[in-house]
Chains A and B, each alone.
Chain A
Amino acid sequence: MALAQKRERQRERRRQTVVETRGLTMRFGGVTANQDVDFALEAGELRCLIGPNGAGKSTFFKCLTGQLTPSEGSVAIRDIDVTGAEPHDIAGLGVGIKTQVPNVFDGLSVEENVWLSARRTHGADRAWAMTAETVERVRLGDIRRRAVGTLAHGQRQWVELGMVMAGEPWLVLLDEPAAGMTDEETVFTAELIREINRTASLIVVEHDMNFIRAIAGRVTVFHRGRVLMEGTMDQVSADQTVRDVYLGHKH
């Protein structure tokens, strides 16, 4: 009886956990970029991954998106084991991904970039309607016919966010979405991310402290490939160890 209850509780917990890694370790030759990372993301959560340069955030991110296969440990998305899966398999589960360097189709128009995302899961007409809507949401309506290669850096980042949004994901993984943006652009990007969070769980890798405060989620601090601590931004920034390894240098 007790056992049955325990199982039930476990199942309950699993249902809410949308991303889970166990003992995730990633080595490149002699360098260990991630060591024994146990991580869990609950449905609806907006989680930021922070840490000094070389802390293993981006490596961890790439293990989640299938761009890297972890040396040890496992990655599960909604109870499906995706360790070693290809990026298109993971995206196929309904996961929206934005990489650190803007990955867009430079030779194609803004509209077509977004359309290619919407069209994957929708019929032709529906895809066009969604494209028009999404292009307006990321405020690129005036330049929707321009080739993405001709746009400014911030606009290219928004094109990529638009592509993520047009896929109607339930889980979104973003690597430094505000990198290289002006303050104004960062504010709008934070707005977009909060909007995405209404329908999707998010993991955001970020450097910019003000940006993290603006999107205000829970924070996981990485240090030397391991998870140092988890908590709200206030808790994290009040912690002495975190201040020493990371924030301390900034303040």
Chain B
Amino acid sequence: MTRDRGEDARLIALAVLAIAALLILPGTLDFSTAYGLISAIPMALLGLSLGLIWGYGGILCFGQTAFFGIGAYAYAVWAVNFGDTTGAVVCAIVLGAAFAAALGYFIFYGRVSDVYLGAITLVVTLVLLQVMRRTSGPEYKIGDALLGGFNGTGAPPMRVPWDTGTMLIGPPLLYVSLGALIVCYFVCVAITRSHFGRVCVAIRENETRAELLGYDARLYKLGLFAIGGGLAALAGVLSGLAVTRVTPELFNLKNAATAIILVIVGGRGTLIGPVIAAFGIFYLQKSLGSQQTVNLDLVLGALLIGFVLLLPQGLVPAVMTLVLRRSGRRRDFKATRRGRRPGRAATRTGRGVDRDLQAAE
């Protein structure tokens, strides 16, 4: 990949910031904020997983929650049956990735077009929602784990792998969640900078050309989709741990839509965008949550409409444009933008011509 010094510097700064946050935050936050964060981080990770496959692979999956919920249920079932929570996490990630790979096989090898991909994945998560809701009753169980229908099933707290007597609840769980998010973020960065990741971007840009270069687009998309499924499954595990319960509502439309909103607001084609958006929405919820004058969903809806209309490229790309313009790298950046927005380029050139004409007069 092109070595970009600016990007390297930004990543190092971010890593330092993340580690500092990991060391300082859990100790200093008040109780309610810490608990709120434990629930917000899984959404950030879900957004990150969609940001990876949509932003870098062009795969618009409307049902990222399918893998989210499957991961959570897989964790609960394994942990209840075997008592080993470390194995349960691994099982959840593997199952999420495997389910994504199986679904992706039919989608990508069947050459299903993008619109239908969105529809199929959305239907899959809604089907799972309805199926899990109907699993109440003693006959619906896997091993010792009752699935529990509407009420769902309990998610046993995670235990320290090398000291299974210690349970990770409260602030220690915040360490685990935040640590997992940071690790996953940098894994995603590494993927997007690898040969595999660049080929995925190339396929997003022009699938025909990638195939004519000898890359099997179906296989690369399948790989990326499976990685996204594994990440979403881990997010599901953290979400289950946050409330110590796994319910069918993990699969619901609100969560599915939230993942997409996080990517749109944060900025497609960035990885940090959905994460920042998730924390931003968490902050909004927290500050608006206690008052009754404005409905929270109304504010979030208005915010989304505002973003789509005014900042269609999302928060992070918009801020980057501003910063880069300030720091005098304007020309380079304009060059890359001109291709995307021919209309604007034309007006600029037009203005230039006007100026030349005035000078001539």
Chain A residues within an 8 Å CB radius of B208? 67, 87, 99, 103
Q: Is B132 an interface residue (CB 8 A)?
A: no
The answer to whether B335 and A163 touch across the interface, beta carbons within 8 angstroms, is: no
Q: Is B199 an interface residue (CB 8 A)?
A: yes
**Given A103-B206, A108-B202, A112-B198, A147–B213 Cβ distance below 8 Å?**
no
Q: Is B340 an interface residue (CB 8 A)?
A: yes
Q: Which of B67-75, B177-185, B214-222 contacts A (4 or more CB under 8 A)?
A: B214-222
Q: Is A124 an interface residue (CB 8 A)?
A: yes
Contact residue among A109, A149, A167 (Cβ-Cβ distance under 8 Å from B213): A167
Chain A residues within an 8 Å CB radius of B339? 106-107, 147-150
The answer to whether A163 and B213 touch across the interface, beta carbons within 8 angstroms, is: yes
Scoring A residues 104 to 143 as 1 if CB is less than 8 Å from chain B, else 0, what string do you get? 1111110110011101110010000000000000000000
Q: Is A186 an interface residue (CB 8 A)?
A: no
Chain A, range 153-198, C-beta contacts under 8 Å to B: 160, 163, 167
- Across the interface, name the chain B residue whose C-beta is closest to A109: B2
Q: Is B134 an interface residue (CB 8 A)?
A: no
The answer to whether B205 and A87 touch across the interface, beta carbons within 8 angstroms, is: no
Chain B residues within an 8 Å CB radius of A149? 339-340
The answer to whether B195 and A146 touch across the interface, beta carbons within 8 angstroms, is: no
Scoring A residues 79 to 119 as 1 if CB is less than 8 Å from chain B, else 0, what string do you get? 00000001110011000010100011111110110011101
The answer to whether A104 and B209 touch across the interface, beta carbons within 8 angstroms, is: yes
Q: In the complex the two chains form, what is the Cα distance from A108 to B336 in whole Å? A: 9
The answer to whether B211 and A86 touch across the interface, beta carbons within 8 angstroms, is: yes
The answer to whether A117 and B213 touch across the interface, beta carbons within 8 angstroms, is: yes
The answer to whether A88 and B217 touch across the interface, beta carbons within 8 angstroms, is: yes
Chain A residues within an 8 Å CB radius of B216? 86, 88
Q: In the complex the two chains form, what is the Cα distance from A107 to B206 in whole Å? A: 9
Q: In the complex the two chains form, what is the Cα distance from A148 to B335 in whole Å? A: 10
Chain A, range 230-251, C-beta contacts under 8 Å to B: none
Contact residue among B1, B201, B206, B215 (Cβ-Cβ distance under 8 Å from A104): B206
Q: Is B302 an interface residue (CB 8 A)?
A: no
Q: Is A34 an interface residue (CB 8 A)?
A: no
Q: In the complex the two chains form, what is the Cα distance from A104 to B339 in whole Å? A: 13
The answer to whether A120 and B214 touch across the interface, beta carbons within 8 angstroms, is: yes
The answer to whether B195 and A124 touch across the interface, beta carbons within 8 angstroms, is: yes
- Across the interface, name the chain A residue whose C-beta is closest to B207: A103
Nearest CB of chain A from residue B337's CB, rounded to whole Å: 9
Q: Is A220 an interface residue (CB 8 A)?
A: no
Q: In the complex the two chains form, what is the Cα distance from A65 to B212 in whole Å? A: 8
Chain A residues within an 8 Å CB radius of B163? none
Q: In the complex the two chains form, what is the Cα distance from A109 to B339 in whole Å? A: 11
Contact residue among B213, B332, B336 (Cβ-Cβ distance under 8 Å from A120): B213
Nearest CB of chain B from residue A130's CB, rounded to whole Å: 14
The answer to whether A106 and B206 touch across the interface, beta carbons within 8 angstroms, is: yes
Chain B, range 190-239, C-beta contacts under 8 Å to A: 195, 198-199, 201-202, 205-206, 208-217
**Given A107-B205, A108-B202, A119-B195, A147–B335 Cβ distance below 8 Å?**
yes
Chain B residues within an 8 Å CB radius of A97? 212
Q: In the complex the two chains form, what is the Cα distance from A84 to B199 in whole Å? A: 24
The answer to whether B214 and A112 touch across the interface, beta carbons within 8 angstroms, is: no
**Given A112-B198, A145-B332, A149-B340, A87–B206 Cβ distance below 8 Å?**
no
Most chain A C-beta atoms within 10 Å of own C-beta, residue among B213, B215, B335, B338: B213
Chain B residues within an 8 Å CB radius of A150? 335-336, 338-339
- Across the interface, name the chain B residue whose C-beta is closest to A121: B214
The answer to whether A105 and B211 touch across the interface, beta carbons within 8 angstroms, is: no
Chain B residues within an 8 Å CB radius of A103? 206, 208-209, 212
The answer to whether B215 and A106 touch across the interface, beta carbons within 8 angstroms, is: no
Chain A residues within an 8 Å CB radius of B213? 88, 91, 116-117, 120, 163, 167
Nearest CB of chain B from residue A205's CB, rounded to whole Å: 15
Chain B residues within an 8 Å CB radius of A147? 335-336, 339
Q: In the complex the two chains form, what is the Cα distance from A146 to B332 in whole Å? A: 8
Chain B residues within an 8 Å CB radius of A163? 209, 213
Binding site for A on B (CB under 8 A): 1-2, 195, 198-199, 201-202, 205-206, 208-217, 332, 335-336, 338-340
- Give 19 new A-B contacts, CB below 8 A, not counting A105-B201, A106-B205: A65-B212, A86-B211, A87-B211, A88-B215, A91-B212, A103-B206, A103-B208, A104-B209, A105-B210, A107-B339, A107-B340, A108-B205, A109-B2, A112-B1, A115-B2, A121-B214, A146-B335, A147-B335, A149-B339
Binding site for B on A (CB under 8 A): 65, 67, 86-88, 91-92, 97, 99, 103-109, 111-112, 115-117, 119-121, 124, 145-150, 160, 163, 167
The 8 closest A-B pairs by CB, nearest first: A149-B339, A91-B214, A105-B205, A150-B339, A103-B209, A87-B211, A147-B336, A92-B214
Sample of 30 A–B contacts (CB below 8 Å)? A67-B208, A88-B211, A88-B212, A88-B215, A88-B216, A91-B211, A91-B213, A99-B208, A103-B206, A103-B208, A103-B209, A104-B206, A105-B201, A105-B209, A108-B205, A109-B2, A115-B2, A116-B198, A116-B202, A116-B210, A119-B198, A120-B215, A121-B214, A147-B336, A148-B339, A150-B335, A150-B338, A160-B209, A163-B209, A163-B213
